[in-house]
């Protein structure tokens, strides 16, 4: 049998892994929380990786798109019948519309993509560290706006009443969907051009590559993917607040990307799975686990120490991440 092309082979291989993990979550209910959170974080990290891996620019601002997507979807799904009680600033036309979660998720992705298009038109004229700082400034700006936009976001309070419709199947479907988008882009002409600019921007410009335009396309797609992760996160918990999409999420997703391998889609998925599993296991030990010899527990804060040590080990021993800069492919 003829092997599929590399991009298709990677997609099929990763989809099989996701489906297998989803099946494991159904067979072992005690693992369902870890599986769902792994899929949601993997979606967020894939969105981040599409931009960082293809452009080489480290982004400290992608959590803002998760926030924009989550609230954009919540405007059409939360607290049916009492929406204007919690969000008094919503226009009547929006408050009257109730959308199923998949449609609302697409709306949230669309809002994030439009914002990214306008923000990226300015920010992506910068390069390297300047672009990274600009993206961090963008995150600060979005956080400040959403914290003070009381009529649309409940300000610094949590917005409750979101339908908790994201389970194992929905999280797996969302992750497979974004893997398809990311890998199609990676194999496209635009993906090739933006990676060429990553390797040698001067040579790319001299060859006629419109670097700013290609980076903007990449940035917009990555923002939409990250927004879907925010939507799933919100509708898994059933509530959202601005602080959930702040620096903790920013640095956690960056750590996942670095641990897995920032230049591959496989690395984004592997990093999210490894770190989410590690954090969940350590969280369980922090809460105490009964044993025949008593309660086994570890001090609080070990999660952060373990994550820092893992990150240091990977940076020293495998600078290209666990995947070594290679995509996973059963058919190779």
313 burial via Cβ count (<10 Å: 0-12, 13-18, 19+): exposed
- Give tens-digit pLDDT for 21-43: 999 999 998 899 999 999 999 99
Q: 3-state DSSP helix/strand/coil percent for the chain, to nearest 5?
A: 70, 5, 25
- Whether the pLDDT of residue 301 is over 80: the answer is no
- Whether the pLDDT of residue 2 is over 60: the answer is no
What residues form DSSP beta bridges with 294? 291
Mean pLDDT along residues 275-304:
79
- Give tens-digit pLDDT for 248-281: 999 999 999 999 998 899 999 999 999 999 988 8
Q: For residues 277 and 62, is the Cβ–Cβ distance under 8 A?
A: no
Confidence class for position 77, pLDDT limits 50, 70, 90: very high
Q: What share of the chain in percent tops pLDDT 70?
A: 96
Residue predicted with more confidence, 168 or 156:
168
Q: What does the pLDDT read at residue 328? A: 87
Overall domain count for the chain:
1
Q: What does the pLDDT read at residue 6? A: 60
- Whether the pLDDT of residue 197 is over 50: the answer is yes
- Whether the pLDDT of residue 220 is over 90: the answer is yes
| Residue at 252 is within a domain | no
Confidence class for position 299, pLDDT limits 50, 70, 90: confident
Confidence class for position 96, pLDDT limits 50, 70, 90: confident
Mean pLDDT along residues 56-60:
94
| Residue at 312 is within a domain | no
DSSP sequence for 201-221: HHHHHHTT--HHHHHHHHHHH
Q: Where are the beta strands (DSSP E) in 60-208?
A: 159-160
| Residue at 253 is within a domain | no
Q: What does the pLDDT read at residue 132? A: 94
Kindly report which listed range (77-81, 117-121, 252-256) carries the lowest average pLDDT score.
77-81
Q: What does the pLDDT read at residue 120? A: 95
Structure-token match 């997703």, residue found: 253
Kindly report which listed range (79-83, 230-234, 323-327) carries the lowest average pLDDT score.
79-83
Kindly report which listed range (2-6, 118-122, 147-151, 215-219) carries the lowest average pLDDT score.
2-6
Q: What does the pLDDT read at residue 302? A: 82
| Residue at 11 is within a domain | no
| Residue at 320 is within a domain | no
Question: Within a 10 A sphere around the Cβ of 16, how many other Cβ atoms?
Answer: 12
- Per-residue DSSP letter, 30: G
| Residue at 255 is within a domain | no
- Whether the pLDDT of residue 1 is over 50: the answer is no
Q: In whole angstroms, give the CA distance from residue 63 to residue 264.
A: 20
| Residue at 22 is within a domain | no
Q: For residues 17 and 179, is the Cβ–Cβ distance under 8 A?
A: no
Share the mean pLDDT of the chain: 91
The alpha carbon of residue 256 and the mean position of all alpha carbons in its chain are separated, in whole angstroms, by 10
Q: Which of 57, 76, 281 is nearest to 159 (CA)?
A: 76
| Residue at 174 is within a domain | yes
Domain range for 119 is 27-246
- Whether the pLDDT of residue 3 is over 60: the answer is no
Backbone angles phi, psi at 87, to 5 degrees: -130, 75
């Amino acid at each position: 049998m003829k092997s599929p092309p590399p991009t298709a082979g990677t997609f099929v291989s990763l989809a099989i892994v996701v489906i297998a993990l989803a099946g494991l979550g159904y067979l072992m209910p005690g693992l369902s929380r870890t599986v769902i959170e792994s899929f949601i974080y993997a979606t967020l990290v894939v969105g981040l990786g599409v931009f960082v891996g293809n452009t080489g620019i480290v982004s400290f601002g992608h959590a803002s798109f998760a926030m924009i997507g989550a609230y954009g979807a919540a405007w059409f799904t939360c607290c049916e019948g009492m929406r204007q009680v919690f969000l008094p600033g919503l226009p009547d036309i929006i408050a009257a519309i109730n959308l199923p979660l998949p449609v609302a998720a697409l709306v949230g992705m669309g809002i994030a993509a439009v914002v990214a298009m306008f923000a990226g038109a300015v920010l992506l004229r910068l390069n390297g560290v300047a672009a990274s700082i600009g993206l961090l400034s963008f995150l600060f700006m979005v956080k400040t706006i959403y914290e003070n936009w009381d009529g649309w976001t409940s300000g610094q309070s949590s917005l409750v009443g979101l339908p908790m419709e994201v389970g194992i199947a929905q999280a797996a479907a969302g992750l497979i969907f974004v893997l398809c988008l990311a890998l199609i882009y990676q194999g496209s002409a635009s993906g090739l051009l933006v990676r060429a600019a990553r390797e040698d921007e001067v040579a790319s410009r001299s060859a006629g590559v419109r670097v700013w335009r290609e980076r903007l396309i990449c940035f917009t797609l990555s923002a939409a993917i990250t927004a879907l992760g925010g939507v799933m996160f919100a509708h898994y918990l059933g509530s959202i607040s601005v602080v959930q999409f702040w620096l903790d999420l920013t640095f956690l997703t960056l750590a996942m990307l670095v641990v897995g391998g920032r230049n591959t889609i496989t690395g984004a998925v592997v990093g999210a799975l490894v770190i989410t599993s590690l954090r969940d296991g350590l969280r369980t030990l922090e809460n105490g686990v009964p044993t025949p010899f008593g309660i086994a527990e570890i001090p609080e804060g070990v999660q952060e120490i373990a994550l820092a040590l893992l990150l240091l080990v990977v940076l020293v021993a495998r600078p290209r991440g666990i995947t070594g800069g290679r995509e996973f492919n059963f058919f190779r």
